[in-house]
Every structure is written in C-alpha cells, then in structure tokens.
Amino acid sequence: MILPYTINIPDERLVAIRDKVAAYDWTQLPDLGGWKSGVGVRDLQRLVAYWLESYDWRRVEKHLNQLPNFITEIEGEHLHFLHVRGDGSRPPILLLHGWPGSYLEFEALLEPLAADGHDVIVPSLPGFAFSRPITGVIGPRRAGELMHGLMARLFGPTRFIVQGGDWGSGIAGWMAHDRPEALLGIHLNMADLLAQGTVATTPEEEAFIARRDVLIDWETGYNHQQETRPQTLGVALADSPVGAAGWILEKIGTWADLPTTADGSPDLWGTFTEEQLLTNIMLYLAPSSMVTATWMYHGKRLEGSSKFPAGTHIQVPTGFAAFRDPVFVPPPRSFAEKTFNIVHWSEMPAGGHFAAWEQPALMLADLRAFIATVSA
C-alpha cells in the first residue's frame, strides 16, 4: 500500500530541540580558530544564532508538504519518498542522496525532469528523515534491494535509471550488480565502490591513489566511527542538537566545492543559506533520525559491501559526472572503467560532493545527456 504523507513534527519535539539549542554552553567549546581542526566555531555560532532568532520550522514544513510525499512499506521497512509524475513518455528516474544530505538535494531537478516526461522518485534512505522507524541496521546492498522493491511496486517491470552520489552511488552500484536487468543505466557523481583488488596501472591512476590515500587518512575518521561504534556516537548526537549540527556542518563545509577565506576556511555563505543548512540538519533532528542514519555505515561493515567481489565488471551502462569533490576526488576515467561500463563521462567545472544541491543546473544538464545516451 502507498499512502500520501504529511509532515507534522509534534510541538513538543520542536520545543525540546529549541530548548537544547538555547541552553548550549559555548564556554565549554574552546576555539582553535578557523576550520583546521574541524568545524569552524564562528560559522557554527552564526548558524545557531539564525536557528534561535529567525528559523521557522513550521514555515519550512508547509513548503515541504507542498511536495508530493508518500510512504509505503517494502519488506517490512518504512520508506518515505517523493513522486513527481511525468507523462510516462520517458523512463522513471530514481534519485538517491547520501549522508549527511537528504532528499531535498534534488528539489531543483524534480519539475524539469518531470516536464521531460519522467516519473521522478526521491526516497529518504532507510533510517533517514521520515524513512523510519526501521527494523535494524541496513547497509547499502540491502538498501538497494529495498529500492528495487519500491520501483517494482510503483512501475512493475519497467526499467529505470538511477542517479546517486555518496550512499546513492554505492546503492546504485549494488542495484546494478544484483539486478542489472531492472536498469537502463546508472549515473554517478562518486565512484569509490570498485571491485576488490582494483590496482592502478598508469601514472595518472597512481597519482590519484596517492592523493586519495592522504585524503582518506585525514578525512574519514567519521566513517570509521559510524561503521564500528555508531551507537556510542549516537548517545551524544541524540542528545545535542548543536552537536549534531556541528557534526553535519563540518562535512558540508569540507566536502562542498566552496571558495576559501583568508585563513583557509570554507566560505559556506556564498553557496548555502542558513535556512538551507538548517533544514537539512532538521531533517535528521526533527524526526529523530540522526542516529539511525549513521547505521548505514555499520551496515556496510556488517554486510561487507564496501567493495564488489574481485573481478566484478558492472555491465549496466554507467555515466559519471566528475564534480570537483575536494575529499572524495573523482578517479581517472580509466580507473573507473576497470569496474564500470562507462558510456558517458563529464569533467564538471564546478560543484562538489553535494552536486545536485550545489550545482543543480549542471547536474540536470549532465543527467539529461546521459539519459539521451542510454535511451537512444
């Protein structure tokens, strides 16, 4: 059964969040200056000041409810999704977000793709936003099975296209691995899910691996924590809205393609508004999904889905938009081709990890170009 869904966060939940934000004791947070050691305290304070003085969740909630929200259960898991209907002349499209993003990353793409004739489906991943409660830890491979189930319920045997970055790229990859016959193509803006044992064989590939290894060492402590001990971290994230905001804001500031200030800190405010950032954060806090969203990392570890089996070559036609992600840097095309059937590749002039959110026009244009390639 598929039911319309109306977002309505209880008043007591909103009051509890606001009270904890207001009570945060900034004297207990020493400032090392800038972003060199993590989230910038001044930028976090700016966001929190807006939260207390100007942010209106009820106004935002009214806007969110103008989108076509639905809920259903797939194999016992509660899933929330947007469904914007086209005229059926083009294949359905599944758009998949990651952590710490949300389904709203794709908002600017909904109407243009529907106008092209596509039905556009944008779920909240299991455990994220309103896709809760879930029955337990779900990894990306299992999430891919649930996405196949959702699309089959909506469109039967009709083949479809998947676009994804971050978790979305890994889920799309496993969907292509496990049920290639269901897909017309996958379009990715991140490619860190590769076959086990993939090795660099050219100087360009070796330089990529060397750079990637340095970045992984510096930037993925969060991943190891959420993979191995998410519940311990969850004790703090569940209790402190400011703490949760800092945990998320640091990733947006570090992973987006942003200009930097004189001290090397990211300039968040030329690309994102306070309301955009807070709404993304509130999609974790308001429905109490901050902890369950971290479980996807634990699920990856438990199901062993960080790599495809050795020798895997995904046959589903694959497009890649090489946005300028400063942490999860795009590989050379030759390296991605060791695992994927690359039929479309674009070097993007701007935009980082949250590509559809940062540069929706560029993402839309590249996705349309890929669709034209696989639909010809």
DSSP-derived secondary structure letter, 124: P
Q: Is the pLDDT of residue 248 over 80?
A: yes
Distance (Å, whole) CA 136 – CA 277: 28
**Taking Cα atoms as reference points, which of 352, 253, 298 lies closest to residue 126?**
298
Whole-number pLDDT of residue 258: 97
Contact 194, 307 (CB under 8 A): yes
**Residue 180: other Cβ atoms inside 10 A:** 15
Distance (Å, whole) CA 176 – CA 312: 11
Q: Is the pLDDT of residue 376 over 80?
A: no
Please report which confidence band the pLDDT of residue 38 belongs to, taking 50, 70 and 90 as the band edges. Answer: very high
Instruction: Write down the domain spans for the chain.
Output: 2-375
Q: Classify domain 2-375 at the CATH topology level.
A: Rossmann fold (3.40.50)
- Give 103-129 pLDDT, tens digit per residue: 999 999 999 999 999 999 999 999 999
Whole-number pLDDT of residue 189: 98
Per-residue pLDDT averaged across 210-231, rounded? 94
**By three-state DSSP, how is residue 340 classified?**
strand
Q: Which residues contact 73 (CB under 8 A, 6 or more apart)?
A: 1, 79
Residue 219 burial (C-beta neighbours within 10 Å; 0-12, 13-18, 19+): middle
Whole-number pLDDT of residue 74: 98
Whole-number pLDDT of residue 290: 97
Q: Is the pLDDT of residue 50 over 80?
A: yes
Q: Is the pLDDT of residue 285 over 90?
A: yes
Per-residue pLDDT averaged across 280-299, rounded? 98
What does pLDDT average to over the chain?
97
Percentage, residues of the chain above pLDDT 90 = 98
Is the pTM higher than 0.85? yes
Please name the helix (run of DSSP H) or strand (run of DSSP E) that holds residue 77, with its range, or none: strand 77-84
**The two three-digit tokens of residue 74, written as one number:** 């797939």
**By three-state DSSP, how is residue 69 classified?**
strand
Q: Is the pLDDT of residue 151 over 80?
A: yes
Which amino acid would we find at residue 347? E
Q: Which residue has the tokens 């207990």?
A: 28
Please report which confidence band the pLDDT of residue 375 belongs to, taking 50, 70 and 90 as the band edges. Answer: confident
Whole-number pLDDT of residue 251: 98
**The two three-digit tokens of residue 98, written as one number:** 């990651």
**By three-state DSSP, how is residue 359 classified?**
coil
Distance (Å, whole) CA 286 – CA 16: 10
Whole-number pLDDT of residue 267: 96
Whole-number pLDDT of residue 14: 98
